[in-house]
Structure 1
């Protein structure tokens, strides 16, 4: 794998990689930029190696996911408890605008990640299973339950009837 080829591949997948990084970081723009920079450095320095077992995009998404998890764990060690309490907010009593992102964030993490990979990143369930290091059966379960839960959340908003 040459550096020129790697740079070309990273540029080709940059937009989707950044979207996935944002989703892994709960839509925190600055943290997603930091994660993606760490991922690119890992890849270019050879710390993350592509073994050609999976699709290249799947591999990049896996590296992003694990880098985000490691980064978030490292940030929690130094997080002030007062700051954590300030992050928790009460749910708004009335919803004035329909926000799909807000509904997706209400899903359990496994369901949310599978739905984002499949619907927003056009991945197959098998590719999602590789990225999330889950069995295909577990991913199918998250996918089916996530779709059902999201449908209920959408219907409960009342905008479709």
Structure 2
């Protein structure tokens, strides 16, 4: 049975309640680039509030929303790659703004650990990184993460298990 259609106020309330988690997931999908993540979340909200993306009730609202965030980030990445290819073909000046990465604050141990974990996560294959992030940081089940990613539960479990094992190895190597 499909859930009743949500009115604009209900949609806005749900989006507001999930904003921090949605932004965290968008950061992960955008390689931790704040500006890109903000754009992805904003575009996702526009899609949801305008009716371009509609929740059917086949999954939880949160799981569905994370799927919309993921697809929006992928669309953005493809669009930017296409623009870069066009610019290269047109032989523009070729100057691309380098992506700035914030240097970790060496004085804060927690920041260093977060940096090491983020670096280890970045070394995982995409699907392993996505499922680990969704389960660890967003509190989804492996099954829900599989829905967000558009893969079977078995595949999500395999990626999750391999991702945890690889993280353990990478972090252990860092400790040496």
2:17 to 4, 12, 20: 12
Cα distance between partner residues in 2 of 1:156 and 1:31: 31
Quote the offset at 1:83 in angstroms: 5.5
Matched, 1:46 2:58: no
4+ residue segments displaced more than 2 Å: 80-84
Q: Which string of whole-angstrom CA distances, capped at 9 and with x for unpartnered residues, describes residues 105-130 of structure 1?
A: 01110100000000101110110010
* Corresponding residue number in structure 2 for 1:93: none
* Corresponding residue number in structure 1 for 2:168: 151
Cα distance between partner residues in 2 of 1:83 and 1:22: 25
* Corresponding residue number in structure 2 for 1:74: 79
* Corresponding residue number in structure 2 for 1:128: 145
Task: Give the alignment's Cα RMSD to 1 decimal.
Answer: 1.9
Aligned length: 151
Cα distance between partner residues in 1 of 2:23 and 2:172: 30
* Corresponding residue number in structure 2 for 1:21: 26
Cα distance between partner residues in 2 of 1:29 and 1:134: 27
Deviates further, 40-49 or 73-82: 73-82
Q: Which string of whole-angstrom CA distances, capped at 9 and with x for unpartnered residues, describes residues 39-66 of structure 1?
A: 0000000000000110110010000000
Contiguous gaps of at least 5 residues in structure 2: 1-5, 89-93, 100-111
Contiguous gaps of at least 5 residues in structure 1: 88-96
Cα distance between partner residues in 2 of 1:66 and 1:145: 23
* Corresponding residue number in structure 1 for 2:118: 101
